[in-house]
Structure 1
Amino acid sequence: METTAPHIAVVYATAQGSTREIADFIGASLTARGALVEIADAEHAPDPTRFDVVILGSAVHDRALLPALGDYVRSHRHELRERPVWLFSVGLGPALVGPIGRLMGRAVPKQIAALREMIGPRDYHAFAGHYERAGVSFTARTMYRLVGGRRYGDLRDWPAITAWTDTIAQELKLPSAQAIPTHP
C-alpha cells in the first residue's frame, strides 16, 4: 500500500525575520521527512484548501499576532477548521524567567486566544524570538529586566522548536528525516 506525502503549507508573518527563520526550519524539517511543503508569508499565502495540513506562525507585537496573519486566519477560518492546523507565535514571553516572567510567559494574550479558538489548532506553542537592545528605550529595557528578561539577542530555543516540529511529524506519521536540517 502506497501512502502519499501530505501537502503542508507553512504560513507566517514576521516583523524582523525571526519568525520567517523558524517557519523555514519547520518547513525544511518536514520536507526532510518526505512531506511536500510550501512556505509563504501571510500576505502572499495560498488558499489553504490546496493543502492537507497548515502550520501558522507569527511574531507577537502588543500581545497580538501580526495583522497579516490575523487577516489570513479571519479570511480562511472555515477552510482552516476543516484540516489539521498547528499554530505558533514568536515573542518575548517564553524567554522570561522568575515568578512574574514565567507567569507572563505562560499566559496566552486574549487576542491570540480568540484567533486560536476561531480555527481550533491541534496545538499552539509560543517560542522566544530575537530581542535586541539597540533602539529600545530605557523604560522598555527596564521593564524587560523587571519582568525577568535576562539577556538580549537571539533567544530562540532551537531544541524546543525541533521537538515541536517532531510532534507534528509524528502525528502526521511521517518517516524519520533523511537529512537533519540546521537552523540559522
Structure 2
Amino acid sequence: MENRKPAVSIVFASAQGSTREIAEYIGNDLAARGATVEVADAEHAPDLSRFDAVVIGSAVRDMALLPTVAEYVASHRNELSARPVWLFSVGIEPALRGPIGHLIGRMVPKRIAAVRDSIGPREYQAFAGHYERVGVSLGARVLYRLLGGGRYGDLRDWTAIGAFSDSIAQALKLHAPHTIPIHP
C-alpha cells in the first residue's frame, strides 16, 4: 500500500437502509482521502484478493448480525484474516439512555461477539440506526421506552460514524479529505 492507493472493500447487509447509508458514507469518506473503494452488499461482494482492507457492516436483528453477513464472514474467514478488517453493526441498543439503557447499549450480544472474534477486526463499533414507530408493536414500543429509548426516527450519530471512518483512514495512512462527505 506504500506507493499506491489502498483498495478497500466495504461489505454490508442492511434491513431498512441505515446500514447501507453508513457503508456508503464511510466509502465516500475513504475515497475522498485517496483510497480506491468498492461498496457492495454481502450477497454481491467482490473477490477480496484485490483489496488491501475490508470494512464489514450489518444491521442487527434478534441480537445478531444479519445472516448474509454471518455467512459471508464464515465463508471468507481465511481471506479476511490476511488483511485488516473493521466491523460495525447498526441496531437500536446504542440509542438507549438511562442506567439500564446505557448498560444494554455497551453490551455486545454473544452472537455478534462470536462473529467479531472469529475475524479479529482492528475495531468493532455499534451504531444506532433508524427506528420508526410505525409497524412496531405496542409491547416493543413500551419496552423501548422502558429501556431508555427517547425518540423515534433517525438515531444515527454521524459524528461517531465519522470518527470510526477517520480511524480506518488513519490506520491505512490516508490523507485528510479535501471535502467532508455529507451524511444522508
Coarse TM-score class (shorter-chain normalised): over 0.9
Number of the residue aligned with 1:104: 104
Gaps of 5+ in 1: none
Structure 2 Cα separation of the partners of residues 89 and 46 of structure 1: 20
Give 1:175's aligned amino acid: H
TM-score by length of 2: 0.98
The Cα of 1:49 is off from its aligned counterpart by 2.0
Match status 1:121 vs 2:127: no
Number of the residue aligned with 2:171: 171
Number of the residue aligned with 1:52: 52
Give 2:107's aligned amino acid: A
Number of the residue aligned with 2:17: 17
The Cα of 1:3 is off from its aligned counterpart by 1.6
The Cα of 1:54 is off from its aligned counterpart by 0.1
Give 2:10's aligned amino acid: V
Give 1:136's aligned amino acid: V
Give 1:15's aligned amino acid: A
Structure 2 Cα separation of the partners of residues 27 and 114 of structure 1: 26
- Number of residue pairs the alignment of both structures matches: 183
Superimposed CA distance per residue, residues 102-161 of structure 1 (whole angstroms, 9 cap, x where no aligned partner): 010000000010001111100000000000000100000000000110000000000110
Structure 2 Cα separation of the partners of residues 65 and 103 of structure 1: 20
Q: Secondary structure, in 3 states, of the residue corresponding to 1:38?
A: strand
Structure 1 Cα separation of the partners of residues 87 and 165 of structure 2: 11
Number of the residue aligned with 1:76: 76
The Cα of 1:48 is off from its aligned counterpart by 1.8
Gaps of 5+ in 2: none
Number of the residue aligned with 1:89: 89
Structure 1 residue ranges (4+ consecutive) displaced by more than 4 angstroms after TM superposition: none
Structure 2 Cα separation of the partners of residues 70 and 48 of structure 1: 16
Give 2:46's aligned amino acid: P
TM-score by length of 1: 0.98
Q: Secondary structure, in 3 states, of the residue corresponding to 2:9?
A: strand
Number of the residue aligned with 1:8: 8
Give 1:167's aligned amino acid: S
CA RMSD of aligned residues (A): 0.8
